[in-house]
Amino acid sequence: MCGIAGISRQDELGVSLDQLGRMAAAIRHRGPDGYGFYTGPRVGLAHVRLSIIDIASGAQPMTNEAGDVIVTFNGEIFNYRELMAELKGKGHQFRTSSDTEVLVHGWEEWGAGLLDRLNGQWAFGLYDGRTQRLILARDRFGVRPLFYAVNGGTLVFASEVKALFASGLVVAAPDPVGLDQVFTFWAARPPRTPFLGVSQLEPGCYAVWENGRLRSHTVFTPSYSEDSVEDPRALEQLDELLTSSTALRLRADVPVGAYLSGGLDSSITARLAAEASPFTLHSFSITFEDPAYDEAGFQNEVAAALGTRHTVRHIRSEDIAAAFPDVIRHTETPLLRTAPVPMYHLARATAEAGIKVVLTGEGADELFLGYDLFKEVQVRLFCLRQPNSRRRPRLFDRLYPWMSAAGRGGEVWRRSFLDASPPDDPLFSHMPRFRAASWVKQFYGDGMAEPLRGVDALAELRDIMPAEHTSWTPFGRAAYLEILTLLSPYLLSSQTDRVGMAHAVESRYPFLDPRLFRFAASLPTSSKLRGLSEKRILKRWARGRIPDSVTARTKQPYRAPDAPPFTSAGAPAWVADLVEESAVARSGFFNPAAVGRLMTRCRQHQGGPREHQALVAILSTELWYRTFCLTASAVTALPESGADVVLSSAPQPTAA
Amino acid sequence: MTNLTDLAIRERLRQFIRETFLYMRPKQALGDEESLMRTGIVDSMGVMEVLAFLQDTWSVTVADQDLTEENLGTISAIARYVMRSVSGASPDREARDRNA
C-alpha cells in the first residue's frame, strides 16, 4: 500500500520536482519504504511506497516497455499473476513481478476494459503519453482514496487532501455543502468532500483528464437481482468464494496478519487466513476499559481456537481524547463518532509488531445483511402490513440490544421508526439513521445556515438513486444505500484506510471480492436475513469452523465511547479551548451559546446518544477547521537525491 | 386553585423543555399542544429525562403502562398527568374514562 500524487497541466511548462516532493512528503506516512517521481512536459507523478509485493523491483512510478504509459499506483491487484500471464501471452514484456506493472501493460492492451478485469483495491493515476490523457481510477468499493482539484487548466490529485494543499495549488477552505453531508450521512458523499473545490473520485469510476477537462465514467455500481430460492449449491459456492478470496488477499511478500473484533466476520477471515497462511497468523484486537464496548472474551476464545499469536491494544478513555487531533489530521473530515480512534491505536500496535498487512471482516454486514438497520427495515415493513396492530411494533424493542436499556423501547422509541418515512421513499431504510445524524444541524451557526439555504442532502441522494433500484427488494435498496453512504466514505475511509495508513498498515477485505459481492447480491433475502436472525448463510458456513459462542451471539457493532473522553475531569485542555464561546463564534459553524450549553450538559452526564454525537461532531469540526484551514501546510519536500526512481521524458510538441 | 396549579405546571414544563431540549433553538415556538415526540424535540432518551424531571419536581412516578404519547406527548398532556397524580387520582384510569 502506498500514497500517490500528481499534477497535470495544460501547458508544457513541466512540473517541478520540488512541488511533487512536497506532495509526496505530505503523505509519506502511507509509504515509508521509498519514493519516486516522474516528470514530463505536462504531467508530474509522485509515489511513496509501502513495499509489499516485489520488494526488490516494485518501485514507482512505473512505465511500459516503450516508456509512454506511466503509472503511480496505490493498492493491490490481487489477481495480478493471472493477468500477467494473460498479458505475457499477448506479447507484453514484463521487467518486474509486481502487480503495478500489470496496470501499464493492461492499459495498453485493454484500455479502460482493464478495470473490469481487476480483482483488487486500487487508486491510480496513469499517464498515457500516446494520447496525452491522464487517467484516474478507483476500485469498486472505494477501499483506496483518491482526491483531486482542478485549478484553472491544472489537475492536482493525491491519496490524501493534505498533499493537494502541499502542492501550493489548492487552498484549504470549508465547503458547507460537504460538511452538511457529513452531518447527514456521517461522511461527505463522493465526489463531494468537506473541502471547497476538492473532490474525490467516486468508487467504481475512472476519469479522463484531457485538454483541461475531466470526464468521469462509471465501471461498477452495486446492483441487486435476487434469486427467488437459494441454489442447492449455495453453501458450497460460498465456501469456494471465501477460500479463494482469502487466498488472493494473502498474496504478499511480507507476513499478513488479521484484525479480530470478536464478532463473526473477522473470526471468519481470521480462520480462513490461519488455514491458508504459511506462518502462524498474528491477530490483533482492541479491548476497552469500559465493559460496554469490550469484546475481549470472544476475541480470546477465537484466538485460542485458531492458534494465532494474539496482540491486544487496551483502550482507555484518555487514549481516545489524546489521539483525537491526530486522527482528525489523518481522516481529514469531521466525525460523528470516535470509533476510528481505537482503530488508529490498533494500527500502531500492528505496525510495532512488524505487520504491514491485515485482513479484516468489513463488507460482510453489507453483503449478508448483518446490521440492525436491516432488521429495522424488516420490522418496519412488518408493522406497515398491519398498521393497526399494537403487538407488532413491540418488535422494535428487540432491536439494538447492545444499547443501554434506558430509552430503548416504549412508544416513543417505536414511533421514531414508524414515522421515519413512507415505504415508497427511496431512502426508506435509512431515514431513521439520517434523521438521527442530522440532529446536530440544530446547532448550526450563521456560517452554515446561509450557504445551505436551498440545499437538501437527502433530496440530492434521492435524485442519484439508480433507476433500477425500484426493481430491487427493500433489502437490496438498503444494502445499496449502506455501501454508498457508509461503507465507502466512512468505514473504509475514516475507520480503516486513513487510520491504518497513518501507521503504514494496509487492510484487505476478503468479503469485498467482486465475485463474493455478486454471489451475495443474488442470494434470496431469506438466505441472509430471516425474522431477526442475520447473516444466516454465513453462520451456516461458520458452524463447526469457529467457536459456537461467536456464531450464536447477536451482532454487536464495533463502537467506542463518544462524549466521555472529552467531558471527564481529565480531558485535554484543547477541548475547553475549542468550545470556548469566542472560538466557536469565529469559526462560525455552530451557535456558540448552544455549544456551551451542550458541553455543560454532557459534563453533567445529561443527555443521550444524540447529544454525545453532536459533541463529537462539533469538536471534530472545530479541530478539522483549525488543522487544515487555519494552519498553513508546512512540509519539506522529499529530495530527488533520496528517490528510488526518477523518470522523466523529453518535452513533446503541443497538440494543435 | 386547580387552574392556577395547572398554569404553574405548564409554565415549569415549558421552561424545562426549553432548557433541556430546545437550548440550541431558542427562537423556536413551543405550543402546549405541540407534539414533543413527533417533532423530534424529545426522543426516547429524552423521555427518560422528562420522567426524572417529573419525579424530582412533583414527586410524580410514571408507571410503565402510562409511558404513552397520550400521557407524555405534549406539554398539556404532561400537565394533565401531573395534575391527576398530585391530586391522588389514578392517572391511567382517568385517561381511560376520558377516552371512553
What does the pLDDT read at residue B98? 47
Residue range A28-39: mean pLDDT, rounded? 96
- Taking any CB pair shorter than 8 Å as contact, residues of chain B touching chain A are 20, 23-26, 37-38, 40, 42-49, 67-69, 72
In tens, the pLDDT along B12-63 reads 999 999 999 999 998 889 999 999 988 889 988 888 899 999 999 999 999 8
Task: Report pLDDT for A402.
Answer: 78
- In this structure, what C-alpha cell is assigned to residue A460? 440530492
Kindly tell me if the per-residue pLDDT of B1 is higher than 50: no
pLDDT (tens digit per residue) in A466-502? 999 999 999 999 999 999 999 999 999 999 999 999 9
Average pLDDT (A27-32) is: 97
Helices A609-624 and A317-331 cross at an angle (nearest 10°) of: 50
pLDDT at B82: 95
pTM, to two decimals: 0.94
- Three-state secondary-structure class, residue A413: helix
Q: Where does the pLDDT of residue A633 fall: very low under 50, low under 70, confident under 90, or very high at 90 and above?
A: confident
| Closest residue of chain B to A414, computed from CA coordinates | B44
pLDDT value at residue B91: 55
Q: Is the pLDDT of residue A320 over 50?
A: yes
- Which residues in A lie closer than 8 A to residue B47 (C-beta atoms)? 407, 410, 412
Nearest-CA distance B45 → chain A (Å): 4
The per-residue pLDDT of chain A, averaged, comes to 94
The contacts found for A77-85 with CB under 8 angstroms, 24 or more apart, are A77/A102, A77/A103, A77/A118, A77/A119, A77/A120, A77/A122, A78/A119, A78/A120, A78/A248, A78/A249, A78/A251, A79/A117, A79/A118, A79/A119, A79/A120, A79/A248, A80/A53, A80/A120, A80/A251, A81/A251, A83/A117, A83/A118
What does the pLDDT average to over A548-564? 89
Please give the DSSP secondary-structure letter assigned to residue A361. Answer: -
Q: Would residue A205 show up in a list of annotated catalytic residues for this protein?
A: no
Q: Tens digit of pLDDT for each residue in A209-241? A: 999 999 999 999 999 999 999 999 999 999 999
Rounded to the nearest angstrom, the minimum Cα separation between B2 and chain A is 29
Residue A176: asked if its preceding bond is cis (omega within 30°), the reply is no
Interface contact B44-A419, CB threshold 8 A: no
Residue with cell 473522553: A565
Summarize pLDDT for A350-390 with one digit per residue, the tens: 999 999 999 999 999 999 999 999 999 999 999 999 999 98
Percent of chain A clearing pLDDT 70 (strictly above):
98
> Does A410 lie at the interface with B, CB-CB under 8 angstroms?
yes
